[in-house]
Structure 1
Amino acid sequence: MDSANGDVPIAATPPFGASTSAYEAWARAEVGHWRAGLLKPEGGLGRAARGVQGRINRLIPEQVHATVTSVVERMTRTILTGANLTTAAPLQGADLAERDRRALAAIDGYRKTAAVEGGVTGAGGFWMALADFPALMVIKLKLLFDLSAIYGHDAEAFAERLYLLQLFQLAFSGGGRRADLLAAIEDWDARPHPDDFAHFDWRRFQIEYRDHIDLAKLAQMIPLVGAPVGAVVNWRLTERLGETAMNGYRMRWLAR
Structure 2
Amino acid sequence: MNENQLYLEEAIRWKMKFLRKPSMAERMSKGVQSKINARIPAKVHKAITESIKKMVEATLLGSNLTTFDKKTGALSLREKDELAQKTIAQYQKAAAVEGIGTGAGGIFLGLADFPLLLGIKMKCLFELASIYGYDIKEKEERMFLLYIFQLAFSGEAHRKEIFRMIEHWETEKREIDWLAFQQEYRDYLDLVKLFQLVPGFGAVIGGTANYKLLGHLGETARHVFHMRLIHETAGY
Q: TM exceeds 0.5?
A: yes
Contact 2:165 2:173 in 1 (8 A): no
* Structure 1 residue aligned with 2:4: 24
User: Deviations for 1:219-255, whole angstroms, at most 9, x for unmatched residues?
Assistant: 1112331111101100011011101111010001111
Greater helix share, structure number:
2
Contact 1:38 1:178 in 2 (8 A): no
* Deviates most, 39-48 or 68-77: 39-48
* TM-score of the aligned structures, taking structure 2 as reference length: 0.93
* Structure 2 residue aligned with 1:240: 216
Amino-acid identity (%): 41
Aligned residues: 231
Take 2:65 and 2:165, find their aligned partners in 1: how far apart are those partners? 25
Contact 1:187 1:252 in 2 (8 A): no
User: Deviations for 1:118-149, whole angstroms, at most 9, x for unmatched residues?
Assistant: 01111111111111111101100100000010
Change beyond 3 A, Cα 1:177–1:192: closer
Contact 2:61 2:139 in 1 (8 A): no
* Structure 1 residue aligned with 2:58: 78
Take 2:58 and 2:106, find their aligned partners in 1: how far apart are those partners? 28
Match for residue 174 of structure 1 among 148, 155, 160: 155
Structure 2 residues not aligned, in runs of 5+:
none
* Deviates most, 23-32 or 148-157: 23-32
* Deviates most, 73-82 or 48-57: 48-57
* Structure 2 residue aligned with 1:206: 182
* Deviates most, 103-112 or 36-45: 36-45
Pairing 1:226–2:207 present: no
Deviation at 1:178, TM superposition (A): 1.9
Structure 1 residues not aligned, in runs of 5+:
1-20
* TM-score of the aligned structures, taking structure 1 as reference length: 0.86
CA RMSD of superposed structures (Å): 1.5
Take 1:237 and 1:82, find their aligned partners in 2: how far apart are those partners? 24
Pairing 1:145–2:121 present: no
